[in-house]
Amino acid sequence: MKLYNKTDKRVLKEALMNEGFERTTLSFYKYYNLPNPQFFRDHLYILLNSVDVFGRIYIASEGVNGQISVPTHKMDEFQQRMDEIIFFQGMRLNIAIEDDGKSFVKLIIKLRNKIVADGLNDETFDVTKKGTHINAREFNELTQNPKAVIVDMRNHYESEVGHFEGAITPDVATFRDSLPIIEDMLEDKKDTPLIMYCTGGIRCEKASAYYKHKGFKDVYQLDGGIIEYARQVKEQGLENKFIGKNFVFDDRLGERISNDIIAKCHQCGAPCDEHTNCNNSACHILFIQCPECAKKYDQCCSQKCCDFIKLPEEERAMKRGIEEFNGSKFSKGRYKAHHQEDELDVQ
């Protein structure tokens, strides 16, 4: 039994476009003590591969974190396969808000030290003493409290394109970075309601327990994150307090929650919230680019990258790893055009 898919990505993309049926994109996570992550990884691969699931799943001794796409006509069969795993039974599946079914091209399941890199020593606090889970209606009600603090547990490139009204959005590149920074920011607010949210809820599961351990007395977490909030708002006709887009970690890079565009093109400054990766594979930095700049720079983040991709393959291969691009200088979303004004002729 093949437990890895090593087919060329271009071939897989072509096959995906020609499938002839719809796919449903969803995400899930489960904290659970896995005594043998490698065995479970192989078992899960066989299980999901049997129903043509694509996606990216991380497995660690603390549990599972996955973002996948499932053939829509096989959803019942997929659910049956998942229910064969006892600790998956009853687990929430967060269905994507905007979905063209093209989010993944193959199934990748990897082992990790943790299902989300948090930098915490779990032995120093009780990770099961989490914050109070709240639904969309309760979230809206709690955020009416003027003393309540709303905290976005995501990274800056995620909150840049969308966030809840009045939320604190830390300028961080990783979840690991956000935990101590938020703790310092709220040092004098340990007696006020702390309301946290993230994409699907997984980061808040650990963060809420950590902040309770640190002395925050009234801790809440949005159950199911932004994805579940948007679903409940639509189904129940609630007021939507999320403005902009929800960043997602697949080929879509975002799902629109409201029509507000709160971000700007990183190259020209025009209103835009479309993330993309630089077309120069030697750079590949994540940034925001409007259609006009995408055309002007051939979907690259700079004139340097634009010129590089036009070189003969032999010359690119020779310079790859030697030339410095934005991807080697800035972390995700840190690039802005003013870093290279002389190069881009930005006025």
Q: What does each C-alpha distance from 36 to 59, 106, 338 come to in angstroms?
A: 10, 24, 49
Q: Which residues make beta-bridge pairs with 94?
A: 27
The candidate with the shortest Cα–Cα distance to 152, out of 195, 117, 122, is: 195
Nearest-5° Cα angle at 76, 73 to 77: 90
C-alpha dihedral sign at 171, 175, 179, 180? negative
Angle between helix 202-213 and helix 175-185 axes, rounded to 10 deg? 40
Q: Which of 23, 21, 75, 82 is nearest to 48 (CA)?
A: 82
CA 112, CA 104: separation in Å to the nearest integer?
Answer: 20
Type of residue at 307: D
User: Which residue in this structure is represented by tokens 């499938």?
Assistant: 19
Active-site residue, selected from the candidate residues 198, 204, 265, 305 = 198
Q: Name the nearest CA neighbour of 301 among 276, 274, 331, 328.
A: 276
Tell me whether residue 272 is one of the annotated catalytic residues. Answer: no
* Tokens 């909150």, located at residue: 159
- The answer to whether 29 and 228 are in contact (CB under 8 A) is no
Active site residues: 198
